[in-house]
Amino acid sequence: MTNPLPQGATIGILGGGQLGRMLSVAASRLGLKTHIFEPGANPPAGHVADQITTASYDDVAALTGFAATVDVITYEFENIPTSALDTLEALKPIHPNRRALATSQDRLVEKEFLQSLGLNTAPFASVDTLDDLTAAISSVGTPAILKTRRFGYDGKGQARLMTPDDTATAHADMAGAPSLLEGFVDFSHEVSVIAARGQQGDIACFDPGENVHINGILHTTTVPANLSKGQSTDAVLLAARILNELDYVGVMGVELFVTPQGLIVNEFAPRVHNSGHWTQNGCVVDQFEQHIRAVAGWPLNEGKRHSDITMENLIGDDMDRVATLASEPNTALHLYGKDEVKHGRKMGHVNRITG
Amino acid sequence: MTNPLPQGATIGILGGGQLGRMLSVAASRLGLKTHIFEPGANPPAGHVADQITTASYDDVAALTGFAATVDVITYEFENIPTSALDTLEALKPIHPNRRALATSQDRLVEKEFLQSLGLNTAPFASVDTLDDLTAAISSVGTPAILKTRRFGYDGKGQARLMTPDDTATAHADMAGAPSLLEGFVDFSHEVSVIAARGQQGDIACFDPGENVHINGILHTTTVPANLSKGQSTDAVLLAARILNELDYVGVMGVELFVTPQGLIVNEFAPRVHNSGHWTQNGCVVDQFEQHIRAVAGWPLNEGKRHSDITMENLIGDDMDRVATLASEPNTALHLYGKDEVKHGRKMGHVNRITG
């Protein structure tokens, strides 16, 4: 697909959560429709999509039917089963590509990829067995974090080792899953770059945002981030290097630790990213539309910021504050329409214009 | 309904065009769903709505079924058949109310209402017969415009009388429809106020925008408008007076002529308005969300503007410019996903941030 998708074309989105929902809204601004593929009932993205398929990722007939109705396929999460991708890829283009997905799905592969580009990462070692873990602690040291290589998000699938005494407990926590030991990085703060690459290889990055996490879940993103001009430039160039190397099409979130010795790449996500939600009220074209533009073969927007913003996630019982938040000046609500409020569940976010 | 609608509630929208489409998107930001009622197939609003009913406005069963699935009803256009409103109103609340609709549906009733509030209008006279028209020309003078009292939009249903010689032709153009002769107003420019009133009687107005029409269709809206501070205040107060008098709930577009003698009210529309599309990229909460907030019993946003904007409508073949527009910096596209490009048809708009 080299031409931009025309009016009325349909973008297939794997995953029906809040990211799919906001992608669907963005697609509508460009005159494009969306078709959501999601195993769960009443997905948030379904409220604003033209079509929904409710089926599991191993339902080949459903995947085939889905692919037949769409012009291009993208996704809102990186843990899509390989077999589903195999089925879909034979039928329609998928952006971002398989290599980006495969790289980000496995923390070990991701770290090795980043190092191959000459980028700095936390010290790490692969851990499959208890012996591996003992050896890893020798090389990486403690404190450290043991993480499953796959399927971790929002701090899940992780165990901290403050001293080597925690070895057995941490290993047991992984329940035999292939893992990675990561050394602690002494960073002052975390920032992320929301970067986009189009089908012509054009790249546009939004200004880096500064992230604060609580209990392993993103709490706020603030732009502009506390970065020197040089650090901002480094962050953007580094993100661009990742995108180019992967021949990437779409938006990527790249998380970086800021240290006195420079920027260290924590991880990247091959999709729109929670730390990019501020763009909805800080930029003329947000990360969701930027992703749709890339996937649909449209030109990217330059990504310029018109306002300073702090994004705050609304998690679980934070929803009790909605009535108050709705009355705050300079504050935009973005609620996800989820059926049920659960502890730790991302229910929405607010963007506050601060300048 | 005094409490704000909760997450997952459904707003019924009569009409499935671009206004319904953008209302639906706005509802999603508040965690609300929409159900579109529209006689035409493949309505633009349907691409981003949770439910669609395709039925005519005289289909009582369809109207009843629609009402059963929604918590409150609103509309994107003012020419809704009375019988449909009768059916719906017995089942669910409708905002804005019937009086606002009835007043705006009839140019004569509207003008008399505005005059009863002490607001200035163009000189006018009711015209049902050729004799009426002759008498009207004596009182109003020429040049003047003969307009049908009902169902006019975008310059349709209008005939100009440059001199009394045009009487017969103009009268024939109306094809017997009850009409109104309006005298010309010597105005320097047109502005509009997008005003909102909530269920608690709270009012919030966006900054007035300056409108330029081509061939009777809105071409651009620019904010800030060319108005003195006093004129801006007058415009906003005047709009508030209309809303209060009608005990209005929702967003209203009020069109005003600027003259050396002060502001003259042209007309108002009891709905979101084309001249308010600039708010999508100029304000943290746009006119569509403001309308949904009002209709859903939520607090209004103050309506503050963070950027200067020029909105330009994309009409008919303007769609050929989309590829170019997509590459312009500081420019947001809003395309309506309409099936077919037609001459004079509103296909989308762009908002350009100018400061």
- Sign for the pseudo-dihedral over CA of A67, A73, A77, A83: positive
Per DSSP, A225 falls in state -
Write out chain B residues lying below 8 Å of A28, CB-based.
21, 25, 47-48, 337
- Mean residue pLDDT across chain B: 95
B90 contact A CB<8A: no
Question: Which residues lie across from B305 on neighbouring strands?
Answer: B283
Per DSSP, B278 falls in state T
The whole-number pLDDT of residue B155 equals 61
pLDDT digits (tens, 9 = 90+) for B286-315: 999 999 999 999 999 999 999 999 999 999
Residue A63: enclosing H or E segment and its boundaries? helix A60-69
Residue B164, classed as helix, strand or coil, is helix
A28 contact B CB<8A: yes
Task: Measure the CA–CA gap between A213 and B7, rounded to whole angstroms.
Answer: 26
B267 contacts B110 by C-beta, under 8 angstroms: yes
Residues 6 or more apart whose CB falls under 8 angstroms from that of A50 comprise: A10, A33, A34, A35, B46, B47, B48
- Whole-prediction pTM value? 0.95
pLDDT digits (tens, 9 = 90+) for B30-40: 999 999 999 99
Cβ distance of B326 and A298 shorter than 8 Å: yes
Q: What is the DSSP string of B125-156?
A: EEESSHHHHHHHHHHH-SSEEEEESSS--TT-
The whole-number pLDDT of residue B339 equals 85
Q: What is the largest CA-CA distance in chain B?
A: 61
Instruction: For residue B1, name the pLDDT band (cuts at 50, 70, 90).
Output: very low
Count of CB pairs separated by less than 8 Å, A with B: 108
The pairing of strands A51-54 and A72-75 is unpaired
- Select from A29, A332, A351 the Cβ nearest to the Cβ of B335: A29
Average pLDDT, integer, range B215-243 = 96
Give the pair of three-digit tokens for residue B189: 């420019």
A8 contacts A33 by C-beta, under 8 angstroms: yes
- Select from A24, A323, A330 the Cβ nearest to the Cβ of B304: A330
| Closest to A7 in 3D by CA, of B268, B333, B174, B337 | B337
Average pLDDT, integer, range B242-259 = 98
The whole-number pLDDT of residue B153 equals 60
Give the pair of three-digit tokens for residue A311: 């994004």
Assess: ipTM above 0.85.
yes
Q: What is the largest CA-CA distance in chain A?
A: 61
Percentage of residues in chain A having pLDDT higher than 70: 98
List, edge to edge, every strand of the sheet that includes B144-148.
Answer: B124-127, B179-183, B144-148, B158-161
pLDDT digits (tens, 9 = 90+) for A221-237: 999 999 999 999 999 99
pLDDT digits (tens, 9 = 90+) for B44-55: 999 999 999 999
| Closest to A235 in 3D by CA, of A213, A212, A268 | A268
The pairing of strands B33-38 and B10-14 is parallel
Task: Measure the CA–CA gap between A38 and A16, rounded to whole angstroms.
Answer: 5
B147 contacts B171 by C-beta, under 8 angstroms: no
Question: Which residues lie across from B350 on neighbouring strands?
Answer: B312, B333
| Closest to B252 in 3D by CA, of B298, B213, B205, B302 | B205
Indicate if the pLDDT at residue A351 is higher than 90. yes
Task: Measure the CA–CA gap between B19 and B270, rounded to whole angstroms.
Answer: 12
Contacts of residues B55-64 at CB distance under 8 Å and 24 or more positions apart, as own/partner, are B57/B81, B57/B83, B57/B84, B58/B83, B58/B84, B60/B87, B62/B37, B63/B37, B63/B87, B63/B88, B64/B91
Cβ distance of B32 and A4 shorter than 8 Å: no
Per DSSP, B250 falls in state E
The pairing of strands B124-127 and A33-38 is unpaired
Task: Measure the CA–CA gap between B228 and B304, rounded to whole angstroms.
Answer: 18
Question: Which of A284, A305, A341 to probe by mutation at the B interface, max B CB count within 10 Å?
Answer: A284
Residue B167: enclosing H or E segment and its boundaries? helix B167-173
Task: Measure the CA–CA gap between A256 and A241, rounded to whole angstroms.
Answer: 14
Look up residue B346 and give its amino acid.
K
Which of A214-223, B26-35, B149-158, B208-217 bottoms out in mean pLDDT, i.e. has the lowest? B149-158
The whole-number pLDDT of residue A151 equals 76
The whole-number pLDDT of residue A155 equals 61
- CA A256 to chain CA mean position, Å: 13
B41 contact A CB<8A: no
Average pLDDT, integer, range B72-100 = 95
pLDDT digits (tens, 9 = 90+) for A122-170: 999 999 999 999 999 999 999 999 999 987 666 668 899 999 999 999 9
Write out chain B residues lying below 8 Å of A335, CB-based.
7, 29-31
- In terms of CA atoms, which chain A residue is nearest residue B309? A284
Task: Measure the CA–CA gap between A212 and A232, rounded to whole angstroms.
Answer: 18
Cβ distance of A24 and B301 shorter than 8 Å: no
A285 contacts A251 by C-beta, under 8 angstroms: no
Residue A16, classed as helix, strand or coil, is coil
- Select from B4, B284, B337 the Cβ nearest to the Cβ of A331: B284
Indicate if the pLDDT at residue B246 is higher than 80. yes
Write out chain B residues lying below 8 Å of A8, CB-based.
337, 339
Query: How many residues make up chain A in this entry?
Result: 355
pLDDT digits (tens, 9 = 90+) for B106-134: 999 999 999 999 999 999 999 999 999 99
